[in-house]
């Protein structure tokens, strides 16, 4: 290869003889001292001009035969990287298209799995100008998909709320059934026990007067089932009728007219023929029956309120928010990304705003139920009243028999001397009215087994635990819905979740519960001036029942109404369909605080397929840098 000075001489000679005659031979070159490799300047490219041309053109080598293989080496030096980068760029484009196709294919697969028509779903991203709720731009959703997803999100919401409420309703329904069976069976067993004992003791004498005791239990059952019975008057009437029967038996030698017996009944309070048993039994029975029936009715009211309130009918604004939360991420290809927890909480509190207004009266109602439950475990225990009722009545009868002479004399003084019966009828009446034996003593261990298969104490203990768990149910309902893994991401996953715009943290604060707190809800537009009529009716039913609970706690009789009529109502609202559900529940009453509010558009949810293009850009930059370096 020629030196740099040889190239300079060749260029000079060419410029002097540019007219076309051949250049004179070059003078001999004086060799220059060789430079070290580190200080040698790069060779200056030689240029030559074709004879007759005005401008020089680049030549591939200096002297003839000096660099004959340079074009091949140049091709090898620059062609291979260029070819590699071209292939990389094509691969990146194909990879991007493939990822885009896969994303929409997955969306399509999930869409079809819900029973929708696959022809609604595109295979590749399309322009999203047709979308009304979900973010526009490139999308995997057609207009038909958005409409069907809207209906699906509505159904998903209803199902999750119903599951939560059915769980609670089943608890109250099952406990009401157990209590109802227990109380009815308790009355049946008490009546059977009394009948068996009286038959053994008096035989035909009792059988002739058994309708009196049957009527007593009929009225007690009617009070428990229907409620329109004045217990005090009913029990007073029982003792009056019993006194009339007993007075005839102990004075069988006399004839008593209806007017005379009516006079006898007027002396009942003054004479106290049955001792103190009627007063004590009336107090015990009244308090126990009022508490028992009120408690059972309270369980029924709780069951019905949950059933009616929990049939949700989302508003148009709620439905839009549900669609945006549940399925708009699919339109962006983010099929595995779940809604942020606080994002879900705001939507649920907006959609369940009216249900949140039940919280105050609901908690008051639960507290009143717990108060009555304490009474049932103590002095108002209906089991401890009804089990020995046969013995208590027998004691009253024996007291009347033992004091029959004194009682009869006082009645004769007040009502006059009755007319004696004819001699033949006297002997027969005396033989029929003789008491053969006293009642046997009462043994608590001989109690009949109830249909509920347990004691009242165990039933009450179980219900008290469920009542405590049910407190704050309505304020916890939005959080419990969002705790369902089908509805939202976990509370700890705040970064990798869908915030309604993209895949990033949700920045708005969580609003409070109830209708009044939804004015500033960032996700659901709620009309706070129009409370739900059905919810208002259930609030009133709870308020009335709470008042009756407080009366029962104090031992006061209560006039009951038809619970199903009072708490019924139609209209929008929410609640569980009355069906068979799980029988246990636990609810988390913790409210979750949100973050500080920022109005920030989130672009973190970029479309799939963008990142592969970075590979092509990198290759182009690499090629340019390599060329400059060389």
What angle, rounded to 10 degrees, do the helices at 533-553 and 277-309 form?
160
- Select from 509, 506, 491, 500 the least CA-distant residue to 596: 509
Q: Is the dihedral of CA 91, 93, 96, 102 positive or negative?
A: negative
Q: What are phi and psi of 102, to 5 degrees?
A: -65, -40
What is the predicted pLDDT for the residue at 119?
86
Q: Any idea where the domains of the chain sit in the sequence? A: 80-125+613-630, 158-320+360-435+446-473
Q: Write the CB contacts of 551 (distance below 8 Å, at least 6 apart in sequence).
A: 290, 294, 557, 558
pLDDT per residue as tens digits for the range 54-87: 444 444 444 444 444 444 444 445 555 565 656 6
**Element at 258 (helix H, strand E):** helix 258-266
Burial readout 173-200 (b: 16 or more C-beta within 10 A, e: otherwise): bbbbebbbebbbbbbebbbebbbebbee
* Residue 352: φ, ψ to 5°: -110, 30
Query: Would you state the torsion angle of the CA atoms of residues 475, 481, 485, 491, taken in this order, to the nearest 10 degrees?
Result: -30
Q: Where are the alpha helices (DSSP H) in 63-142?
A: 70-113
Coil, strand or helix: which one is 410?
Answer: helix
Scored b (16 or more CB within 10 A) or e, 265-293 reads bebbeebbbbeebbeebbebbbbbbbbbb
Query: What per-residue confidence (pLDDT) applies to 558?
Result: 66
pLDDT tens string 29-55: 444 444 344 434 444 444 444 444 444
pLDDT at residue 59 in the model: 41
| Whether the Cβ atoms of residue 552 and residue 375 lie closer than 8 Å to each other | yes
Say what the pLDDT of residue 171 is: 96
Tens-place pLDDT, residues 244-259: 998 998 898 998 998 9
pLDDT score at 354: 95
Counting as low any pLDDT under 70, the low residues of the chain are: 1-103, 423-454, 558-630
Query: What's the pTM value of the predicted model, to 2 decimals?
Result: 0.69
* Predicted pLDDT of residue 439: 41
């Amino acid at each position: 290869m020629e030196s740099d000075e040889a190239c300079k001489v060749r260029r000079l000679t060419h410029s002097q003889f540019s007219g076309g005659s051949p250049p004179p031979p070059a003078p001999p070159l004086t060799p220059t001292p060789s430079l070290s490799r580190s200080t040698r300047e790069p060779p200056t490219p030689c240029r030559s001009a074709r004879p007759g041309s005005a401008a020089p053109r680049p030549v591939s080598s200096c002297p003839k035969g000096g660099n004959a293989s340079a074009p091949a080496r140049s091709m090898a030096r620059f062609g291979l990287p260029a070819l590699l980068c071209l292939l990389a760029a094509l691969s990146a484009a194909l990879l991007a298209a493939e990822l885009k196709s896969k994303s929409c294919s997955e969306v399509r697969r999930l869409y079809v799995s819900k029973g929708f028509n696959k022809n609604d779903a595109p295979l590749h991203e399309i322009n999203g100008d047709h979308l009304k709720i979900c973010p526009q731009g490139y999308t995997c959703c057609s207009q038909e998909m958005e409409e069907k997803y809207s209906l699906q999100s509505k159904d998903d919401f209803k199902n999750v709320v119903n599951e939560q409420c059915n769980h609670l309703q089943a608890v109250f329904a099952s406990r009401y059934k157990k209590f109802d069976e227990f109380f009815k069976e308790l009355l049946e067993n008490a009546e059977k026990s009394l009948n068996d004992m009286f038959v053994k003791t008096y035989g035909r004498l009792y059988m002739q007067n058994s309708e009196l005791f049957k009527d007593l239990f009929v009225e007690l059952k009617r009070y428990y089932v229907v409620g329109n019975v004045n217990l005090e008057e009913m029990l007073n009437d029982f003792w009056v009728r019993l006194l009339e029967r007993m007075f005839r038996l102990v004075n069988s030698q006399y004839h008593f007219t209806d007017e005379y017996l009516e006079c006898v009944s007027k002396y009942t309070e003054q004479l106290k023929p049955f001792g103190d048993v009627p007063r004590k039994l009336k107090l015990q029975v009244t308090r126990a029956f009022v508490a028992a029936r009120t408690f059972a009715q309270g369980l029924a009211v709780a069951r019905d309120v949950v059933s009616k309130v929990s049939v949700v009918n989302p508003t148009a604004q709620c439905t839009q928010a549900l669609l945006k939360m549940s399925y708009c991420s699919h339109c962006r290809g983010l099929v595995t990304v779940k809604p942020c927890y606080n994002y879900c909480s705001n939507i649920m509190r907006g959609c369940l705003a009216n249900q949140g207004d039940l919280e105050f009266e609901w908690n008051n109602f639960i507290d009143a139920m717990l108060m009555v439950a304490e009474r049932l475990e103590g002095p108002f225990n209906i089991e401890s009243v009804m089990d020995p009722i046969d013995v208590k009545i027998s004691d009253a009868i024996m007291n009347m028999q033992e004091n029959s002479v004194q009682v009869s004399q006082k009645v004769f003084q007040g009502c006059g001397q009755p007319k004696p019966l004819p001699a033949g009828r006297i002997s027969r009446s005396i033989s029929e009215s003789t008491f053969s034996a006293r009642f046997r003593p009462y043994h608590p261990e001989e109690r009949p087994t109830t249909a509920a298969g347990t004691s009242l104490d165990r039933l009450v203990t179980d219900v008290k635990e469920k009542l405590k768990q049910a407190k704050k149910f309505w304020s916890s309902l939005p959080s419990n819905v969002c705790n369902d893994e089908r509805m939202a991401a976990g509370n700890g996953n705040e970064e990798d979740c869908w915030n309604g715009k993209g895949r990033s943290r949700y920045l708005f604060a969580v609003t409070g519960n109830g209708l009044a707190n939804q004015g500033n809800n960032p996700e659901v537009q709620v009309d706070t001036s129009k409370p739900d009529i059905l919810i208002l009716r259930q609030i009133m039913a709870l308020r009335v029942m709470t008042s009756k609970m407080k009366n029962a706690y104090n031992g006061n009789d209560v006039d009951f109404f038809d619970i199903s009529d009072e708490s019924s109502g139609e209209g929008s609202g929410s609640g569980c369909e009355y069906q068979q559900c799980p029988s246990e529940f636990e609810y988390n009453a913790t409210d979750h605080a949100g973050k500080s509010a920022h109005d920030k558009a989130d672009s973190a949810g970029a479309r799939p397929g963008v990142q592969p293009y970075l590979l092509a850009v990198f290759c182009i930059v690499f090629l340019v840098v390599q060329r400059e370096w060389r």
